[in-house]
Structure 1
């Protein structure tokens, strides 16, 4: 067996392997590499484990750079998890060893693996980031899904429509409305927004495996919006937002129901609500649908050959920056946000 870099003409072979692997996420698809390179200019280095011309494992990596702070290999930036997909632990270990060799070469300072399971046989520094994915098993069809929900939740789903809200599900034709909602919500949260180009490239790269959902107020104004990505039997929502002025109408309930019913009607067996901190508001929102937590493990291998947990940045400086950002005009944050967000790998 040899570990090598994926060739430029092997995109379909990569995606075929990812589509068939039970642990794969949409972020493992070659589309993520295409979007990262096109929107933000960071190079994807995708490794394959090959045996007699057959792919038996993959490890997607992105060469991520910070101004004045060096470079590291990340699997994968801008999402909950990437990591190794392989036929067995021996092949996974070979892929990890290959990535470690790359990361020890200048100018790299570290290798960061974000995965769904602890790296087998490796000394880790604490077991993750105190974050979980919230995952729901789906029945076959939206009608079965609705009938299996508690009466209170069914009422909460139907109330926005009784109040005059309505949903649209589509593609690039809804991008402008999605981005308007998303950019304003990110400003209100104190967080730099992704560039619109990033989402254009996501839609382009994922094609029919991506969809935009928008919820409209009775007056026809976008009130909530999100993006759904699919791979194999898994559907996930990495980005969803709603406007605070419509919070009393609860558009998020209708937004997530739109995505859930679409996924159930189109062959998805699991629905990933995305990353949350246990006990916080977004975790409780996802939990009410019946989603169960699955821990995430983000581990960093440094040049000193120690594994350490890579917890999210915090502290007073972050809270201060968020407070300042929330006070800036939307036009300012929409201009500055993408320039900053490019260098935030979360």
Structure 2
């Protein structure tokens, strides 16, 4: 689009009859991610009740840019405007940098109007804006998928490949379906053991309802048919994104999580996926080291923030020492209690 057209740019909030137009734009944009889709607006509003502000840039009735935003406000964790909470990628998509800058600055204006502490844009790539500063300590990991199971396994680094080979001898089996109930049960226990509040079960069901054709669940069963590991994955643009996964107590001994991710790679390739997106992890964390063990390089993320009411960058990381007591206490909660109380906290931890 010629720069002269940008003078006629208008930015509005997404209307319900424009969702298909928005999603088509995301599909066609080279940086459009699964997390830019309007389905997240539906899921977030329905599950958590957070106000959503999906900004659409128009020029002569043509959509030329999008920026999904959600306000997350609580007494405990502050007030923020984020693109997008509960998602690892976000930020603006636009035909040109000039349009992107207008969208990002519109988000900052909205943040000032809402009196948020800060505005956060979860850009995957470095995208400069003098009104924001880079603020991220995470990387994402991924790899291309080889054509056969043997080739996929051969592409894993030697030490982790040996672990996967070991798991293949443990009489495990995998099933793929839409059973988000089992995925949630396994995930809830897994995150409780890590000291993290779990989402409400309805979140998983809402994801399945909205993204049914782009979602499945792979569950690993023991020789007795008992679930031991499970992962809910998204499929978009020939990629698979294992997103909510975990394992029960026996998973470590059985190496069922290693088995699970390998089986998911093979399954996704059978479906025609060509890339495996292992997602975001905090730099130098145990999760990051695990992903590196597969031979997947770290790709630094380039989230950026603009402070509005806050005077310094808030540290909401679970590695923040002030959360240590809470995390250690949470690990000891009965599972039923963590599932009862967790949703009241996790809705603000996106």
Give me the TM-score of the superposition, normalised by structure 2. Answer: 0.89
* Counterparts of residues 60-71 of structure 1 (less than 5 Å): 60-67=68-75, 71=79
Aligned partners of 1:85 and 1:92 also within 8 Å: yes
* Counterparts of residues 224-303 of structure 1 (less than 5 Å): 224-303=229-308
Give the SS at the match of 2:168. helix
Which is further off, 202-211 or 46-55?
46-55
Match for residue 6 of structure 2? none
Aligned partners of 1:24 and 1:231 also within 8 Å: no
Rounded Cα–Cα distance in structure 2 between residues aligned with 1:88 and 1:344 = 32
Give the SS at the match of 1:105. helix
1:59 correspondence with 2:59: no
Deviations 1:215-251 (A, max 9, x none): 1111111111111112213321221101122311100
Assess, with a 3 A threshold, how the Cα gap between structure 1 residues 253 and 69 changes in structure 2: closer, same or farther: closer
Shift of 1:269: 3.0
Assess, with a 3 A threshold, how the Cα gap between structure 1 residues 131 and 15 changes in structure 2: closer, same or farther: same
Rounded Cα–Cα distance in structure 1 between residues aligned with 2:25 and 2:53 = 17
Shift of 1:147: 4.6
Shift of 1:146: 3.6
Aligned partners of 1:71 and 1:108 also within 8 Å: yes
1:14 correspondence with 2:22: yes
Shift of 1:153: 4.5
Assess, with a 3 A threshold, how the Cα gap between structure 1 residues 273 and 108 changes in structure 2: closer, same or farther: same
Assess, with a 3 A threshold, how the Cα gap between structure 1 residues 122 and 263 changes in structure 2: closer, same or farther: farther
- Provide the aligned length of Structure 1 versus Structure 2: 342
Aligned partners of 1:27 and 1:82 also within 8 Å: yes
Shift of 1:25: 2.2
Shift of 1:91: 1.3
Aligned partners of 2:117 and 2:309 also within 8 Å: no
Assess, with a 3 A threshold, how the Cα gap between structure 1 residues 18 and 64 changes in structure 2: closer, same or farther: same
Q: Could you say what the CA RMSD is over the residues aligned between the two structures, in angstroms?
A: 2.3
Give the unaligned 5+ runs of structure 2.
Answer: 1-8
Q: 2:334 aligns with which of 298, 311, 329?
A: 329
Rounded Cα–Cα distance in structure 1 between residues aligned with 2:310 and 2:98 = 20
Give the SS at the match of 1:297. coil
Aligned partners of 1:57 and 1:91 also within 8 Å: yes
Rounded Cα–Cα distance in structure 2 between residues aligned with 1:131 and 1:277 = 4
Match for residue 164 of structure 1? 171
Shift of 1:122: 2.2
Assess, with a 3 A threshold, how the Cα gap between structure 1 residues 235 and 309 changes in structure 2: closer, same or farther: farther
Rounded Cα–Cα distance in structure 2 between residues aligned with 1:160 and 1:300 = 42
Match for residue 105 of structure 2? 97
Give the unaligned 5+ runs of structure 1.
Answer: none
Give the SS at the match of 2:326. helix
Deviations 1:235-271 (A, max 9, x none): 2122110112231110011111122122223233322
1:180 correspondence with 2:185: yes
Shift of 1:89: 1.1
Which is further off, 281-290 or 208-217?
281-290
Assess, with a 3 A threshold, how the Cα gap between structure 1 residues 110 and 130 changes in structure 2: closer, same or farther: closer
Give the SS at the match of 2:119. strand
